Amino acid sequence: MTNNKNNDKPLYLSDYLKIDKSISIIFSIASKASFLFKSSELQEKRNIISILFTNLEING
């Protein structure tokens, strides 16, 4: 058990297991990102790009 720096609530093993599961899901989705993007409809691709590059600024 360790203390969380955001608050003084202790972290338990179950907290770490939830974090581990979340990271696993993120990596699973990321590993399929290319396939998911290529197989998406045009509007879905536009939505994905707009989410990924919400704050994109191009100078030049």
Query: Would you say 45 and 37 are in contact if contact means Cβ atoms under 8 Å apart?
Result: yes
Beta bridge partners of 10: 3
Q: List own/partner pairs for 39-45 with CB under 8 A and 24 or more apart.
A: none
CA dist 20 and 28 (Å) reads: 12
pLDDT digits (tens, 9 = 90+) for 11-52: 888 888 888 899 999 999 899 989 989 999 999 999 988 988
- pTM comes to 0.47
pLDDT at 2 > cutoff 80 = no
Residues 12-23: pLDDT tens digits? 888 888 888 999
